[in-house]
Structure 1
């Protein structure tokens, strides 16, 4: 009889679920994200360079320079988002139309920047900026810098300017 009671108790314990199976509390983990619309540069501003190289003291005709394809102003904007790409007047000029390359001695060489559908690329939103609507794909713009013809010689030396690029949206 003891054997029978022991076997019955053993078989009952095997047929019952383990104690841990009774207590399995569950919960939920909430995961969220918010995707906003916007624009961002794909290249840093310091990576875009326009170099006229060595120019003569007298410029007999308009001289142009532009970044090489693949090294222009590259950016991406969300699909459907209207944007404006602006260029400020640079370090040598408060004017947006005529910028200035400046030497360490303070000599200047005036120049213009044009772009796609822009004669004079400026920073006045919707007036002289490059305007478009984003499609979620990268866009590259190649600005064109122009030195005008000049009859008086420029002082020899190195000239430079830094123009700030802005995206308005």
Structure 2
């Protein structure tokens, strides 16, 4: 004798239901990595705009003779350079826009007269165009280059503003 159809359908439904899990499997925890790469680099501290500062030799009468001096940033702080620890940097100044005869010069606006001047590192060593090497360690990540300018006035100078622009380059 044959089994009623409802009984066969019920057994099939039970067999299918038994083979399907009561909940779907989902991974509830996973990890991912976070990383950064630090490369050697340098920056000049406290720089706003395109200039690292200005050396002002003051205002003097055209008949003045003798030496006038000024420093980059008040109280001799100079250029503050910060580099990644372990970096060796090289700092070089060019001869300026009015370099002639092996010397930097302040040129009067509109042309004409020129006043030779010198840049001094630490107030003692003349900084021509040679590179200055700086080594940065974990305990010395910021170094300062105190920078001064010195010009000797011959007297009898035409009135006007005398200036020069020196480009300083840091490489590492």
**What CA distance in whole angstroms lies between the structure 1 residues aligned with 2:82 and 2:53?**
16
Whether the aligned pair in 2 keeps the contact of 1:59 and 1:148 (CA below 8 Å) is no
Which runs of structure 1 show a deviation greater than 4 angstroms over 4 or more consecutive aligned residues?
none
Match of 1:12 in 2: none
Q: 1:122 to 1:38 in 2, by over 3 A?
A: farther
| Corresponding residue SS for 1:69 | helix
Aligned residues: 146
Look up the match of 1:9: none
Q: How far does residue 40 in structure 1 lie from its aligned partner after superposition?
A: 1.4
Unaligned stretches of 5+ residues in structure 1: 1-16
Do structure 1's residue 155 and structure 2's residue 162 form an aligned pair? no
Q: Which moved more, 1:74-83 or 1:62-71?
A: 62-71
Contact 1:50 1:145 (C-alpha < 8 Å) held by counterparts: yes
Q: Which residue of 2 aligns with 1:38?
A: 41
1:85 aligns with 2:91: yes
Give the corresponding residue for 1:113.
Answer: 119
- In the alignment, which of 139, 145, 170 is matched to residue 141 of structure 1? 145
Structure 2 contact 82–141 (Cα < 8 Å) conserved: yes
- TM-score where L is the length of structure 2: 0.70
Aligned-pair CA distance for 1:56: 2.9
Structure 2 alignment gaps of length 5 or more: 1-20
Pick the structure with greater CA Rg: 2
Q: CA deviation at 1:70?
A: 7.4
Deviation by residue 1:39-95 (Cα, 9 ceiling, x = unmatched): 211133514110011023244322211130376211112223222221111111266
Deviation at 1:118?
5.8
Q: Write the distance in 2 (CA, Å) between the matches of 1:167 and 1:102.
A: 26
1:97-143 residue CA offsets vs partner (Å, 9 max, x unmatched): 52111222212221110102763213333xxx3x3211353222221
| Partner Cα distance (1:93, 1:18) in 2 | 87
Structure 1 residues 94 and 39, CA gap change in structure 2 (3 angstroms): farther
> Are the counterparts in 2 of residues 43 and 75 from structure 1 also a CA contact under 8 Å?
no
Correspondent of 1:102 among 82, 107, 112: 107
Distance 1:32 1:70, change over 3 A: farther
